[in-house]
Amino acid sequence: MGKSEKPLGKISSINALLTLVLLDSEQIPKWEPLDEEPDGDDIGGHPQKVTELYEDEDFVSAELEVGKGKALVLSLEGVTGEAEIRRLEDGTLALIEPPRDWWDDEDNYGERKDEVAQLFTDALGSAPKAGKEKRAGKILVSSGKLVVFDSNESLESASKAAKKTTNEKFVGFGENDGGVVLGLAPGQYVIWRHVIEPEWADDQRLVIAYLRRA
């Protein structure tokens, strides 16, 4: 079985709107926690700043200052509230929404087994053709441990997960399975976002964010 054929894990949102934050584990203590009793429309902490990004209807990604570093806020499609993580043969990490088991569900596209299989082959079998991807940003992972989480997830248990994470391994965290810590080679990473629109999928799109060493 190839690396890309088995998901490393999933990230889930408390709603269908899946907005991911990518953050070096060294910046975990600098991330503003959720306010459990916010006033008015303020949902508290950085998530409120994330919400403000949606004022731009074309929002895909943006950098957010965290301590002396930066986090990358990345919007996937926001349909199922779930993304899966896969590692390609060349070491590239792929964040995918909706995940494969959603496509395989009989209530969705389970009857189109061949088309779904080809869809994921196109997404994960090789690098997309030039011009098909949109650069979404970059992230410095000095610690070699990248925290990827839904913007509404608390980071209370993220530090413990980071301590358990080793190179090329991942550890999930959060009450809602809303985050993972990924073990990577330290350095700068670039994120590219690719969208595939199958003709047979009733306007449903497959959105992939590729994470590659710069």
Q: What is the pLDDT of residues 16-63, one digit of tens each?
A: 888 999 999 999 999 988 776 666 655 667 888 888 888 888 888 999
Contact 88, 67 (CB under 8 A): no
The reported pTM is 0.90
Q: What is the pLDDT of residues 85-138, one digit of tens each?
A: 999 988 899 999 999 999 999 999 999 999 999 999 989 976 555 455 678 999
Find, among 10, 162, 167, the residue nearest to 85 by Cα: 10
Q: Percent of the chain having pLDDT more than 70?
A: 89
Q: What is the pLDDT of residues 135-188, one digit of tens each?
A: 899 999 999 999 999 988 989 999 999 999 988 889 999 987 899 999 999 999
User: Does residue 3 have a pLDDT over 70?
Assistant: no
Going by the DSSP 8-state scheme, the letter that residue 29 receives in this structure is: G
Rounded mean pLDDT, 189-211: 92
Residues 177, 11: Cα–Cα separation, whole Å: 6
The kind and range of the H/E element at 48 are: helix 45-53
For 57, list phi and psi in degrees, rounded to 5. Answer: -65, -25
